[in-house]
């Protein structure tokens, strides 16, 4: 599924991190089976998946909805780590997880500078992603929604 900045795939009614509010995760659009794989993690937890193609769409969505984390494909044509940088400048409290084909020193160093919560190699092992989401939500929101 490919969606514009203001279209989103609502996976459930939403269960907030510890407070009963809606949970929203914003992710990069991808040509592979990414949205379907995320739905498998999010649907049972009533988490909303929103998608964006480029940095400006990420910011537009974050401005219009509460986003609990952003998952950014740093190898994407839409800007990669530049997207994380734009998010950091506009919304420094929004946690980010980065996905990359090249988890080498340069990418890790830049991700560390941008205070990315986690860098996950591609192809993404969905169990590792779920574990990282669980760590993030426990640490940031005191929620075990991904546990």
pLDDT digits (tens, 9 = 90+) for 46-93: 999 999 888 889 999 999 999 999 999 988 776 688 999 999 999 999
Instruction: Return the C-alpha torsion angle 97, 117, 111, 71, nearest 10.
Output: 10
DSSP string, 81-128: HHHHHHHHHH-TTS-EEEEES--SHHHHHHHHHTT-SEEEESSP-HHH
Query: Tell me: the pLDDT tens digits for 88-99?
Result: 999 999 999 999
Q: What percent of the chain has pLDDT over 70?
A: 84
Q: Interhelix angle for 34-42 vs 126-141, to 10°?
A: 50
Q: What are 86-135's pLDDT values in tens digits?
A: 999 999 999 999 999 887 778 888 999 999 999 999 889 999 999 999 99
Strands 8-9 and 47-52: antiparallel
Q: Which is the CATH superfamily of the domain at 8-140?
A: Response regulator (3.40.50.2300)
Tens-place pLDDT, residues 3-56: 323 333 333 333 344 445 799 999 988 766 777 888 889 999 999 999 988 888
Prediction pTM value: 0.83
């Amino acid at each position: 599924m490919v969606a514009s900045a203001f279209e989103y795939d609502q996976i459930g009614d939403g269960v907030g991190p510890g407070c009963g509010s809606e949970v929203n995760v914003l992710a990069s659009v991808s040509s592979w089976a990414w949205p379907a794989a995320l739905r498998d993690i999010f649907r049972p937890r009533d988490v909303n998946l929103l998608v964006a193609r480029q940095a400006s769409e990420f910011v537009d969505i974050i401005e219009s909805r509460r986003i609990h984390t952003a998952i950014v494909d740093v190898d994407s044509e839409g800007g990669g780590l530049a997207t994380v940088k734009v998010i950091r400048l506009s919304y420094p409290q929004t946690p980010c997880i980065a996905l990359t084909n090249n988890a080498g020193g340069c990418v890790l160093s830049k991700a560390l500078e941008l205070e990315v919560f986690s860098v996950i190699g591609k192809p993404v092992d969905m169990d590792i992603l779920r574990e990282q989401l669980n760590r993030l939500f426990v640490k940031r929101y005191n929620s075990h929604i991904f546990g």
